[in-house]
């Protein structure tokens, strides 16, 4: 099958590769329609590794996908050929201790698309467990279906935050994940979300959503603005979504006594933070690694119209132009939020 293959760091090719397409009794076979390019795909392309995950042999990229079911295994119920679906890219070991606890996202055995050595889905067909395949409501497009994966991270962060209606939140970092966190926090009941970044272009995109207050930290002091907006009390919830170790300096000044700090971004280097400041306010610290039991909820929110992810798809490339799509993603234009790759014309 033809696929977008990362041969080694910095080298992509669109070529035939042998991929397993054996349909088990609990699996579905999906014709891929749309795949989003994720920061992690780009990082494997430009660096060949993310932390302990090192590319050692050619790997197909892509894990944010939607498509149409073409075949179902003998045990599958509730899904049928012709169903439009999106897929959760991590397949945990369902017998693992983590899975039994309901925290399958932290199962050490999880097999996650486009995380070495597991192939991703920038290829026409994939076989996937039905249990991790979700039917798209009729009013949710394939493009939105392919956005469920990054939005699920925002949803997981909002769930970890345990939002109370009317909360004021801060999201540090206005990349795609920062925006997803802000939208999930608003949908989860936050009255207002301050989003900070150095990029005016990124902030303009986030700021187009009602409830988002953009703060350009190249020009303004985030803490001053948050304190002013909360009568000096601080934000109920602070999400760290920049993944920058530097963002930890002053992070705990933003949160109110008894509030929560939710860590979403993955700093490459160890981060130093003010433990005494956190203890003095008895701040609750939460961490977010991918998501568990979130995809169906994300789809319900999108279908309800409460979250509109459509404006975040900046451009859609044909599969034949996948390599240019990745070069464009690697160039990190500040006006690009999400780039999509579309396999073949199959309707919306």
Q: Which residue is nearest to Zn ion (CB)?
A: 38
Q: Which two tokens stand for residue 49?
A: 């590794």
Smallest gap from residue 100 Cβ to Zn ion (A):
26
Which stretch, 31-39, 272-280, 289-297, 340-348, contacts Zn ion (CB under 5 A)? Answer: 31-39
Closest CA to 235 of 173, 189, 190: 190
Q: Which helix (H) or strand (E) holds 31?
A: strand 27-36
Tell me whether residue 64 or residue 83 sits nearer to Zn ion (CB atom).
64
Tell me whether residue 40 or residue 141 sits nearer to Zn ion (CB atom).
40
Spatial separation of the C-alpha atoms in residues 175 and 336, rounded to whole Å: 9
- Does position 294 interact with Zn ion (CB under 5 A)? The reply is no
Tell me whether residue 118 or residue 204 sits nearer to Zn ion (CB atom).
118
Tell me whether residue 234 or residue 243 sits nearer to Zn ion (CB atom).
243
Tell me whether residue 148 or residue 226 sits nearer to Zn ion (CB atom).
148
Q: Which two tokens stand for residue 185?
A: 């926090």
Tell me whether residue 120 or residue 214 sits nearer to Zn ion (CB atom).
120
Q: Which two tokens stand for residue 118?
A: 């597991």
Which 58-77 positions form the footprint of Zn ion (CB under 5 A)?
A: 64
Q: Which helix (H) or strand (E) holds 153?
A: helix 148-161
Smallest gap from residue 106 Cβ to Zn ion (A):
17
Tell me whether residue 252 or residue 317 sits nearer to Zn ion (CB atom).
317
Which 245-284 positions form the footprint of Zn ion (CB under 5 A)?
A: none
Smallest gap from residue 63 Cβ to Zn ion (A):
6
Which stretch, 34-42, 93-101, 158-166, 231-239, contacts Zn ion (CB under 5 A)? Answer: 34-42
Q: Which residues contact 267 (CB under 8 A, 6 or more apart)?
A: 243, 244, 245, 248
Which stretch, 32-40, 257-265, 286-294, 337-345, contacts Zn ion (CB under 5 A)? Answer: 32-40
Smallest gap from residue 39 Cβ to Zn ion (A):
7
Tell me whether residue 38 or residue 203 sits nearer to Zn ion (CB atom).
38
Long-range (24+ apart) CB contacts under 8 A made by 163-168 are 163/188, 163/189, 163/190, 163/236, 163/237, 164/189, 164/236, 165/189, 165/191, 166/190, 166/191, 167/191, 167/236, 167/237, 168/192, 168/193, 168/194, 168/229, 168/230, 168/235, 168/236, 168/237
- Does position 155 interact with Zn ion (CB under 5 A)? The reply is no
Tell me whether residue 154 or residue 259 sits nearer to Zn ion (CB atom).
154
Smallest gap from residue 108 Cβ to Zn ion (A):
20
- Does position 38 interact with Zn ion (CB under 5 A)? The reply is yes
Smallest gap from residue 273 Cβ to Zn ion (A):
26
In the chain, the N- to C-terminal Cα span, in Å, equals: 23
Q: List residues bridging with 69 in a β-sheet.
A: 30
Smallest gap from residue 55 Cβ to Zn ion (A):
17
Size of the site for Zn ion (CB under 5 A): 2
Which 166-195 positions form the footprint of Zn ion (CB under 5 A)?
A: none
Which stretch, 35-43, 80-88, 118-126, 193-201, contacts Zn ion (CB under 5 A)? Answer: 35-43
Spatial separation of the C-alpha atoms in residues 115 and 41, rounded to whole Å: 9
Crossing angle between the packed helical segments 176-187 and 200-207, to the nearest 10 degrees? 20
Spatial separation of the C-alpha atoms in residues 260 and 198, rounded to whole Å: 24
Q: Which two tokens stand for residue 159?
A: 């769930």
Smallest gap from residue 41 Cβ to Zn ion (A):
7
Smallest gap from residue 150 Cβ to Zn ion (A):
5
Closest CA to 90 of 59, 115, 72: 115
Enumerate binding residues for Zn ion (CB under 5 A): 38, 64
């Amino acid at each position: 099958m033809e696929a977008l293959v990362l041969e080694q760091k910095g080298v992509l090719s669109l070529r035939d590769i042998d991929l397993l397409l054996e349909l088990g009794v609990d699996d579905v076979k999906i014709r891929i329609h749309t795949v989003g390019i994720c920061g992690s795909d780009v990082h494997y392309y430009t660096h060949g590794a993310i932390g302990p995950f090192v590319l050692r042999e050619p790997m197909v990229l892509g894990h944010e996908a939607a498509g149409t079911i073409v075949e179902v295994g003998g045990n599958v119920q509730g899904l049928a050929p012709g169903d439009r679906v999106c897929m959760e890219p991590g397949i945990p070991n369902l017998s693992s201790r983590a899975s039994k606890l309901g925290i399958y996202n932290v199962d050490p055995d999880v097999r996650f698309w486009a995380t070495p050595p597991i192939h991703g889905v920038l290829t026409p067909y994939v076989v996937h467990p039905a249990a991790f395949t979700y039917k798209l409501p009729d009013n949710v497009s394939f493009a939105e279906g392919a956005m469920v994966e990054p939005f699920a991270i925002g949803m997981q962060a909002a769930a970890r935050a345990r939002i109370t209606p009317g909360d004021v939140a801060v999201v540090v970092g206005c990349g795609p994940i920062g925006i997803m966190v802000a939208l999930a926090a608003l949908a989860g009941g936050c009255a207002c979300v301050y989003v900070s970044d150095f990029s005016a272009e990124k902030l303009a995109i986030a700021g187009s959503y009602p409830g988002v207050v953009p703060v350009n930290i190249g020009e303004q002091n985030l803490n001053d603005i948050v304190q002013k907006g909360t009568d000096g009390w601080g934000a109920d919830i602070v999400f760290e979504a920049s993944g920058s170790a530097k963002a930890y300096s002053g992070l705990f000044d933003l949160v109110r006594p008894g509030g929560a700090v939710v860590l979403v971004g993955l700093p490459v280097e160890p981060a130093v933070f003010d433990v005494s400041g956190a203890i003095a306010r008895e701040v609750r610290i939460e961490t977010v690694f991918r998501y568990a039991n979130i995809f169906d909820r994300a789809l319900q929110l999108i279908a309800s119209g409460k979250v509109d992810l459509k404006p975040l798809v900046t451009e859609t490339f044909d599969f034949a132009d996948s390599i240019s799509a990745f070069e464009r993603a690697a160039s990190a234009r500040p006006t690009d939020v999400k780039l999509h790759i579309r396999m073949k014309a199959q309707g919306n």
